[in-house]
Amino acid sequence: MLYGNWLGKPGDKFTQLTNISQIIISIILFVVGSRRWSSLRKGALLSLSLAIFLLCSVAWSVDPGASARTGVSYFFFILGLIGAAENLDGDDFMGLLASVCFLSAIASLSLIFISPSLADGGTGDLIGIFSYKGILGQAMAVGTLACLHGLRAQTLGRLSGLFMILVFTFVALKCRSTTSALVILLFYVIGAVIQLLQKGGGARILGVVLITLLLIVAPVAAISLDSLLELMGKDPTLTGRTNIWAYVMPYIYQRPLLGWGYVAFFSTLNPAAWEVASALNWFAPEAHNGLLDILLSGGLVGAVWSVYLWARTVRLSLQCLRYDSAMATTCFSCCAGILLEGVSEQVLLYATGLAGVFFITGFFCEKAVSRARRRTPVARGNLVGTQSAHIAPSAATAKF
């Protein structure tokens, strides 16, 4: 409200103070929790290595300044998440996240009455306190996921949790972000299916049936995406997004290995971006596809790195089901949400809410699995010692 809104929003004192504060807090969190580094070392190193690789793309970037600025921000974003995972309990973190997202939902709804022109940004769609409706929608999806986690972990009251979820869903529908609404629906379905599978008996059979239906419906929906979108009353081109995909593909082949530099392709300093803008008759700020954005920023190296991190996090979430079912379900749901959102939006490569949940829930799952594995040998050793103590008198008696 004080500074207005523009693309990137660079230069004003408030933004600079916020960025500096984020860097300082990230360093403090990481240093304070460094004694617990060993429980999430591998995942933390892989995530930081991705951030360092993106920062190093300054060397071949078509806009080194943009790559450096965003690369530094992304590095400390990952560092701060590692520090949070080191210092905080997973359930406490998700509870805090739910509260922050709920406050942003209430603030966005309040802005409709305080300043309607700011609430819709002149577009007619609710953007609330954010810069555009996609970010508001993602914040509501993240809040829904955090609330569902609280209900599963029983750290959030049932009535208050359901009320917050209703508010998140209402705001997501109000801002007309189809992607976020579908992601929220996916979170509901995955949570219900996993709960059914864990119960056993008839409930498990129902869960298997639902999974089978999802596996059948998903490919059909992907093949008939145009028809499905028209049925929903949406533009088959996803508001021009699919048009961008066709134009950026040739540029990916021009720099296939390392890409054009982190967030550099759609820079106004890149002539290729202006060629795409000329063909589209508007200047696109991104490719509006998770994989294409990664290929443009980091090439095949960045894409393979990101896909490996995603697959590894899925595996960790499944392993963690034995030790922390609530966090494992949240992590797996987030991974599925990343996959769905990546169809039409940038994912993982930027400091966004869903990316933050993806990384930190992966860290919490890794910490739970690592601690459980460290306890297992001790438990076995105690069992062997107990058995020996019982066997020894019997052997002595037999000898006597």
Residues 323 and 369 sit within 8 Å (Cβ to Cβ): yes
Return d(Cα 224, Cα 246) in angstroms, integer: 18
Position 231 scores a pLDDT of 46
Q: How many CA atoms lie within 13 A of 371 on its CB side?
A: 13
pLDDT digits (tens, 9 = 90+) for 340-387: 888 878 888 888 889 999 999 999 999 999 888 877 654 444 444 444
Across 393-400, average pLDDT: 39
What average pLDDT does the chain have? 81
Continuous segment of H or E residues that includes residue 277: helix 271-280
pLDDT (average), residues 110-125: 79
Q: Which residue has the tokens 């008996």?
A: 201
Which 8-state DSSP code applies to residue 288? S
Token duo for residue 177: 């972000």
Q: Tell me the angle at which helices 241-254 and 290-320 cross, rounded to the nearest 10 degrees.
A: 90
Residue of higher predicted confidence among 15 and 186? 186
Cα separation of the two ends of the chain: 90
pLDDT above 90 covers a percentage of the chain that reads: 38
Please tell me the distance from the alpha carbon of residue 268 to that of residue 257, in angstroms, as a whole number.
23
Find the range with the poorest average confidence among 77-86, 215-224, 244-253, 273-282.
215-224
User: pLDDT tens digit string along 197-224?
Assistant: 777 666 667 766 676 776 666 555 544 4
Task: Give the lowest-confidence range in 19-33, 234-248, 264-278.
Answer: 234-248
Tell me the three state secondary structure of residue 224. coil
Query: What does the pLDDT read at residue 221?
Result: 53
Q: Are 57 and 301 in contact (CB under 8 A)?
A: no
Per-residue pLDDT of 147-183, as tens digits, reads: 999 999 998 888 999 999 999 999 998 888 888 888 8
- Residue 5: HSE in the Cβ half-sphere, 13 Å Cα cutoff: 13
Whole-model pTM: value is: 0.83
